[in-house]
A = this chain, B = another copy of it.
Amino acid sequence: MHKEHTLTKNQQIIFDLIDKSPEPMKAYSILFNVQKKGIKAPLQVYRALDKLVEIGKIHKIESRNAFIACHNSSCQVAKATAFSICEICEKVTEISSAGLSKYLANFKDKDGMKYSKYNLEFFGLCKKCRT
């Protein structure tokens, strides 16, 4: 769905870094990690992040101000996202549940309004931290 975009140099560098990261990355951590590749200023990072979010290659974890690569092939609508976040180790996992996305996409508020875009963040303990 969002694979057709040709990324620019900065976008590719930043996407690769986030994609390889086992955890969500913060903007200034990204900046630090790409300085050796010639990206020197916060704005260069934020502009790439904005674009990557827009085309759905990455998502922003709003409660953490951090960015994670999309690993959800069923993530058709770039801005309909769901995550689980461990409150101890901060592990973040993108949830790909057809049932959940269907429920949320079909949810109607009091006025009968539907919303195709949403962001859902579940908080709890991951498998490892539960034991």
Contacts and interface: CB of A to CB of B under 8 A. Distances in A.
Interface string A111-131: 101111111111110010010
Interface stretch (A2-10, A42-50, A95-103): A95-103
B113 A117 contact: no
Q: How large is the interface on A (under 10, 10 to 19, 20 to 34, 35 or more residues)?
A: 20 to 34
Q: Is the interface of A mostly helix, strand, loop or mixed?
A: mixed
Nearest to A126: B113
Contacts of A123: 79, 115, 117-119
Contacts of A84: 109, 113, 115
A110 to B, nearest CB: 8
Contact of A124 (B93, B117, B120, B124): B117
